[in-house]
Amino acid sequence: MLGPVLAQVWRPRPSLVHALAGVLKECVVPQARSSEPPMRETKAGHPACPACATGPDLTDWRRVGTMLGQAALPVKKRPDAVDAWVALAAARHGSAVIFTGDPDDLLAYLAVLRPQEVHVVPV
């Protein structure tokens, strides 16, 4: 089974939000009326995902800085800290899918991290 799905949508159109909400029923889609909260409780009362439950530490900040400095971004693109954080969040989960309008940027950041099972899907 594939792990978490991250949908990176900066300028969501209602049709795109609706389409993602239909496809990703088990995931959180911001601005969808039926969205679940990002943290789901387990029967024990602990967050279901340890990667989501912990905030960034010094190592994470260093990884983001490394990605910003080493990523081979497409021509005319500048380093983007948000894209780097999305790549890091996907890598921390181990197996994830990222839906994004900037697939080349995300792939450049992921190339620095070299995670095992992170897939990028352009939207």
Mean pLDDT computed over every residue of the chain: 75
pTM for the structure as a whole: 0.63
Instruction: Specify the DSSP class assigned to residue 41.
Output: B
Residue pLDDT, tens place only, 45-98: 555 566 666 677 888 889 889 999 999 998 888 898 888 988 888 888 777 888
CA–CA distance, 46 with 20 (Å, rounded to integer): 27
Measure the N-to-C terminal CA separation of the chain; round to a whole number of Å: 22
Residue pLDDT, tens place only, 86-107: 888 888 877 788 888 889 999 9
**Which residue has 């995931």 as its token pair?**
27
Residues 6+ apart with CB under 8 A from 84: 64, 67, 68, 71, 109
Amino acid (one-letter) located at 85: W
